[in-house]
Chain A
Amino acid sequence: MKSITDMIVEGDVYNINEVIEAALKNSKPLDVLEELIAGLHRAGELYQKGEIFIIDIMSAAETFKEAMKIVQPALGKAKRKFLGKIVLGTVEGDIHDIGKNIVAVMLEGAGFEVVDLGIDISPEKFVEAVKMHKPQIIALSALITSTMTKMEETINALKKAGIRNKVKIMVGGAPVSERYAQSIGADSYAIDAVGAIDKAIALLK
């Protein structure tokens, strides 16, 4: 029989529910959660090594989310201790969300409380979200070079609202680079979803 960790890596969304239900009869919900998270980590590592691809990691993410529908209520009082809170979204003008969705699930699996604002998010909406959710980190995604400029506008909007120093800013997406992140005054740049976890953890220190 496959382990829960393997089922996440393989994206076995068809059988995960019954396996999780069985596991919860014999194990603590937090232990089951650990196995799910280990699967997501493993999938992320394989993606970074080029051994699996976006299609596979999306299946892993979908399977994790499916499993969490059962694990989350079972956690009950034994609530997860989150590492921190992240607000993320794709910047204004950009309606791509595959990469952002993968990052959201990976961060959630890594222990962050994630508030996903969605796509085409204006600087003003990011400002409102920071005021409302009070995250430690805000993560901005862009897939098109011509929408990247909205990252800088978002940072400027946070400055204007007087809350720039209350939140760390992480940026990512295909056209973004380390140097671009520095040039617009972001605190961190993540090359991919697994990189985003490491960078987010580093930002909390």
Chain B
Amino acid sequence: MFRIITNLMKGMLKSKLGIHLSGAERFMLTSMYSKVDRIASMLVAGNVHPQLIDSNYDFVRLTSSVEANLELFEKLLERFPNFDGTMTANWLGLAGCGQVEMGTTMRILPLVEPSPAIYALDRNSLEELPMPEMKGYLEKQIQLSAEVQDRYPEIISPPIILGSWDLAMLLRGEKLISDFRLFKDFKTSKDWEQKKKIQKKGDPNYLSRLLDFTTEASIAIGNLYKENGVKMLGMVIVNQYANPPIMSPFDFTTYIYPYVERVWKEFKKYRPTAGYMPPSPNDMKKILQYPALSGIACFNNYMFPQNEYGLTAPEYDEEMITYSKEIKVPYTYIIHGKFLRDGTEKEIEAQIARVCKLAVEAKAPLSIGLSAVPLGTKLSKVDLIIEAINKYGVYK
């Protein structure tokens, strides 16, 4: 923590004096919407397929060993030393979120990211599920978070926990969508005959009982992080399964947000953000009115409509950059994995050049990141992103 604040102060001074910033300084200043020398670059390590870095590391090994994740992270930093921010140094993915310790079985194959195979609520009733404890994959995930913060103090690596909806999805699976529909239809129906018909299809109150449980579980997981030495500042609460196209922003804010806010309030002193990615700048403006959703983790193009090549709507970027100046939150332009994998070097460079030009002309801090580096991607394209940011992303 002390190191981060010192770096931040040093960076601000260097920026003022026009001295070249280090990557960590640039990344932190950008995150705080401060003046920087060029656009920041960001790599989410855990979304780089491990086989692209070293074929000795697969998901079976990475989900069984904390040390294996740290070794692979070190190799990744050696391979890509020039990203300003490299974070989320773990490849446990969905295995480390706590639901396994509550009864969900994961399918872990060497080359495929862990996915739930049998959901806890397929075998047990809600009343039978235990609160998460410090064991299994969750314990590994927490130990890894603490270890990364300890070994790499200059890297921003806040804990990331699942919020009420995502945890419910990993305990209940696709049936959660039917639960939601019953709950919403029952709540919005004014006709008692209709309510009776809804009740015949299932229990409309099941969803609220489940979300009450997962809200408590999410808080319990956050507390396990805290009690086991993880620094909580800037923690992120994720509900990616509530993002569009699964659910409308209206449904999310009306029915799910209150649960998300309960978790957020519990950790408020650590300045958490509940990550939520709306499908357009207009939705973004509405979403950012909600206190738990107003941070940097929401302000990106991740869920904007994509074309058949994986490119998000370019017309939205200018609006987002203009809006970012208004609210003093940096926009993060995310390059989707399939565009990175399938696009040509020329096409990728053209996109970076386009977004950089918008930010440089507007003098607006901007980060450019990668959503994933999937199997089949030429790593030279990842190098190209850094080169292109250096070429087009310098503020005058």
Residues of A within 8 A of B (CB): 11, 13-15, 47, 50, 52-56, 58-59, 62, 93-98, 144-149, 175-180, 183, 189, 191
Chain B minimum-CB-distance residue to A59: B181
B177 touches A58 (CB 8 A): yes
Q: What are the 4 closest A-B residue pairs judged by CB atoms, nearest first?
A: A145-B374, A14-B197, A178-B308, A179-B342
Does B309 touch A at the CB level, under 8 Å?
Answer: yes
Residue pairs across A and B with CB atoms within 8 Å: the count is 97
Chain B residues with CB under 8 A of A146: 49, 111-113, 374-375
Nearest chain A CB to B275 CB, angstrom units: 18
**Given A11-B181, A14-B198, A149-B376, A52–B112 Cβ distance below 8 Å?**
no
State in angstroms the CA–CA spacing of A179 and B246 once bound together. 25
State in angstroms the CA–CA spacing of A178 and B347 once bound together. 15
State in angstroms the CA–CA spacing of A10 and B313 once bound together. 28
State in angstroms the CA–CA spacing of A93 and B376 once bound together. 17
Task: Give the residue of A52, A55, A149 whose beta carbon is less than 8 angstroms from that of B181.
Answer: A55
Does B170 touch A at the CB level, under 8 Å?
Answer: no
Nearest chain B CB to A95 CB, angstrom units: 6
B374 touches A175 (CB 8 A): yes
Chain A minimum-CB-distance residue to B306: A191
Does B244 touch A at the CB level, under 8 Å?
Answer: yes
Task: Give the residue of B178, B280, B337 whose beta carbon is less than 8 angstroms from that of A175.
Answer: B337
Chain A minimum-CB-distance residue to B200: A14
A13 touches B342 (CB 8 A): no
B49 touches A53 (CB 8 A): no
B117 touches A55 (CB 8 A): no
A52 touches B308 (CB 8 A): no
Residues of B within 8 A of A (CB): 49, 107, 109, 111-113, 115, 117, 174, 177-178, 180-181, 185, 194, 197-198, 200-201, 244-248, 251, 279-280, 305, 307-310, 337-339, 341-343, 372, 374-376
B185 touches A14 (CB 8 A): yes
Chain B residues with CB under 8 A of A13: 201
B181 touches A144 (CB 8 A): no
A95 touches B342 (CB 8 A): no
Chain B residues with CB under 8 A of A15: 194, 197
A191 touches B177 (CB 8 A): no
B338 touches A176 (CB 8 A): yes
A145 touches B308 (CB 8 A): no
Chain A residues with CB under 8 A of B200: 14
A145 touches B117 (CB 8 A): no
Chain B residues with CB under 8 A of A191: 307-308
